[in-house]
């Protein structure tokens, strides 16, 4: 692997990180990261969900301070700066979702950014930013009337108006179609060609491959490796953190089952956030007792799909049919009551409540607590699936391990007696043995007749338990069918952009 190899003629470092660590309570988000970026480089940062990319970026942008270690950016000690100093020191950050002043013109938005500069330099800086970003002929247009690509251009123009030495791009390719993506890549190349140092965090792996001279890979807050895009894509360790380990895959394989009636049918579903279209024309169906595994790289739209199915993200077009009823416009609580459950990413438990109390919140009614009731309590089903929760009943959820918390989150969904359960990143942050136990529970849930939509980052194991798979790439379906018909090479292309 290339270790800190210079890709430009400059030798001056613009970023020096030595054992940089950032903690939040007892959680270490960034762990002793060492990194040197030299002036004029274009460096990409990648890693799966929970790798620490966003937290590390926030430290470089001056939004947070390191808990320990040394961090020098543009020659300044970023462990001692105040909020807002980063822009004056030469650091500009372009965000994933542009949030301009919609009732101001393009030029007015860029002009506001230039206020960190002396008055006499502002006009020239704004003119330059508009020119480089291709917005000169749109400078009098209201920002609220811009399309997504123009908003991305405006976000970069606002950064350039700071006259930055270091440009940080945080997933700026999100939501763009193929043609717009090519234009954005050309713009970033143009910015870099002016001599700016660029560091980008990006889930769209094609962008990393097209732009980055060097790529740094983070895993669980630590630096795993670095090298050229081609080198890191072929590194077995990188492949494993994105696709998961095939270890114990055979033990999880599910026997073929005869599908029952269709429980969930999605047709032409499109959804997004503000101007960003995340899902485009997604179609699939899930039968009774069937497991559909949804795959795709970070940013492919998997979590947005889960939220759209549950009614937490508004559908722009298409339909969602649940048990024969169109629920496209049905509110979230109504979908849950009718039997469409979600186990969300991050578990979302009430940490101060006990295990029993968290499970109780999932019940449709209080009948599950009446010992005299002739039916089996839904909570009995939960304890049968996860016997360990019986002994943890009176413990606060916030005191549990990650695996135990995930059991509670699954149990809470089961307590509602659902017909379909959507699992969003079931294994995130968990040890392999815990992941195996949870996936075994998912199989048991499906065998009981409940339909499952499984969004999972441990790819090999998720495929092992699947009846069929759906692969998303930048919000569109690139494969739908049986697991045996989707090759390892296609997986690597979908996740790592590898050829």
> Cα–chain-centroid distance for residue 22?
20
392/386 Cα distance (integer angstroms): 11
Question: Interior CA angle at 444 toward 438 and 449, to 5°?
Answer: 135
Low-confidence winner among 23-37, 125-139, 366-380 (lowest mean pLDDT) = 366-380
Domain 13-243, what fold?
Answer: Rossmann fold (3.40.50)
CA dihedral sign of residues 493, 494, 496, 497: positive
447/360 Cα distance (integer angstroms): 24
Contacts of 357 (CB under 8 A, 6+ apart): 350
Question: CATH 3.40.190.10: does it fit domain 249-496?
Answer: no
What is the arithmetic mean of pLDDT over 432-444? 84
232/498 Cα distance (integer angstroms): 10
**Torsion angle of the four alpha carbons 134, 139, 144, 145, in this order, in degrees rounded to the nearest 10:** -70
* pLDDT tens readout for residues 321-356: 999 999 999 999 999 899 999 998 877 888 889 988
The domain limits of the chain are: 13-243, 249-496
Query: In the predicted model, what is the mean pLDDT of the chain?
Result: 86
400/150 Cα distance (integer angstroms): 46
DSSP type of residue 244: -
Q: 13-243 with 249-496: one CATH topology?
A: yes
Confidence of residue 6 (pLDDT cuts 50, 70, 90): very low
29-43, 240-254, 457-471: which is most confident: 29-43
- Give me the pLDDT at residue 156, please: 96
Confidence of residue 235 (pLDDT cuts 50, 70, 90): confident
């Amino acid at each position: 692997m290339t270790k800190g190899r210079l890709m430009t003629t400059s030798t001056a470092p613009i970023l020096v990180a030595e054992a940089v660590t950032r903690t939040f309570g007892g959680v270490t988000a960034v762990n002793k990261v060492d990194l040197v970026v030299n002036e004029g480089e274009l460096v990409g940062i990648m890693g799966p969900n929970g790798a620490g990319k966003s937290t590390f970026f926030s430290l470089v942008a001056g939004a947070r301070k390191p808990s320990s270690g040394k961090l020098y950016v543009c020659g300044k000690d970023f462990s001692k700066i105040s909020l807002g100093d980063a822009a004056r020191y030469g650091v500009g950050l372009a965000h994933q979702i542009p949030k301009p002043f919609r009732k101001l013109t393009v030029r007015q938005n860029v002009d506001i950014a230039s206020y960190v500069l002396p008055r006499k330099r502002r006009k020239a800086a704004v003119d330059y930013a508009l020119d480089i970003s291709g917005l000169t002929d749109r400078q009098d247009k209201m920002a609220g009337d811009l399309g997504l690509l123009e908003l991305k251009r405006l976000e970069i123009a606002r950064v350039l108006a700071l006259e930055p030495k270091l440009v940080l791009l945080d997933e700026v390719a999100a939501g763009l179609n193929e043609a717009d993506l090519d234009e954005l890549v050309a713009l970033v190349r143009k910015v870099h060609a002016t001599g700016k140092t660029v560091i980008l965090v990006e889930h769209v792996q094609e962008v990393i491959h097209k732009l980055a001279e060097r790529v740094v890979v983070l895993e669980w807050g630590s630096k795993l490796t670095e090298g050229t895009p081609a080198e890191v894509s072929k590194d077995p360790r990188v492949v494993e953190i994105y696709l998961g380990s095939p270890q114990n895959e055979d033990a999880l394989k599910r026997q073929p089952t005869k599908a029952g009636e269709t429980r969930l049918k999605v047709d032409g579903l499109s959804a997004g956030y503000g101007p960003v279209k995340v899902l485009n024309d997604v179609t699939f169906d899930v039968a009774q007792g069937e497991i559909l595994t949804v795959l795709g790289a970070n940013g492919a739209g998997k979590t947005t799909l889960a939220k759209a199915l549950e009614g937490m993200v508004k559908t722009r077009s298409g339909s969602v049919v649940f048990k024969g009823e169109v629920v496209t416009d049905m509110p979230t609580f109504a979908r849950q009551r009718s039997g469409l459950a979600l186990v969300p990413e991050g578990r979302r438990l009430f940490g101060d409540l006990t295990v029993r109390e968290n499970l109780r919140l999932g019940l449709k009614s209080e009948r599950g607590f009446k010992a005299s009731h002739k039916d089996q309590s839904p909570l009995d089903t939960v304890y049968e699936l996860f016997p360990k929760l019986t002994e943890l009943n009176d413990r606060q959820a916030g005191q549990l391990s990650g695996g135990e918390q995930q059991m509670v989150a699954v149990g809470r969904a089961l307590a509602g007696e659902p017909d379909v359960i959507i699992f969003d990143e079931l294994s995130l942050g968990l040890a392999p043995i815990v992941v195996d136990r949870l996936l075994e529970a998912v199989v048991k849930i499906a065998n009981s007749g409940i339909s499952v939509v499984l969004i999972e980052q441990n790819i090999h194991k998720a495929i092992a338990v699947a009846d069929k798979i759906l692969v998303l790439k930048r919000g569109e379906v690139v494969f739908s069918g049986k697991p045996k018909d989707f090759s390892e090479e296609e997986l690597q292309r979908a996740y790592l952009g590898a050829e």
